[in-house]
Amino acid sequence: MNPLVRGRRERRRDLPSWREDAACFGEDLDTFFPVGDAGPALWQIARATSICAGCPVREECLDYALTTGQDHGIWGGLTVQERREVRRARRARGA
């Protein structure tokens, strides 16, 4: 079994501390890692971002993705391209 899809009661020490509180915990991870940006991928992106929209740890997730350089998937409700834009803006501000 995929360790990220286990029940919420089973604690995983190798996951970031916020991960088990994420709205996506237990969801099919393929939804958050669409292949491409057309066809079925558009549905995956819409589904993933809608799950992220109400997530109590969305900011932590996005910070994790930006800090660790996640170049694939939906993290903190943002696509790869959206995260690149956030990184560019942060560099421009000197943050």
**pLDDT value of residue 15:** 63
- Per residue in 45-87, pLDDT (tens digit) is 999 999 999 999 999 999 999 999 999 999 999 999 999 999 9
4-21 pLDDT per residue, tens:
444 444 445 556 789 889
Mean pLDDT of the chain: 86
Measured CA to CA, the distance from residue 44 to residue 39 in angstroms comes to: 9
Whole-structure pTM value? 0.78
Say if residue 22's pLDDT is above 90: yes
Give pairs for 23-26: CB < 8 Å, separation 24+. 23/51, 23/52, 23/54, 23/55, 23/56, 24/48, 24/51, 24/52, 24/55
Domain encompassing residue 47:
3-93
**Count of the separate structural domains present in the chain:** 1
Where is pLDDT greater, at 34 or 94? Answer: 34
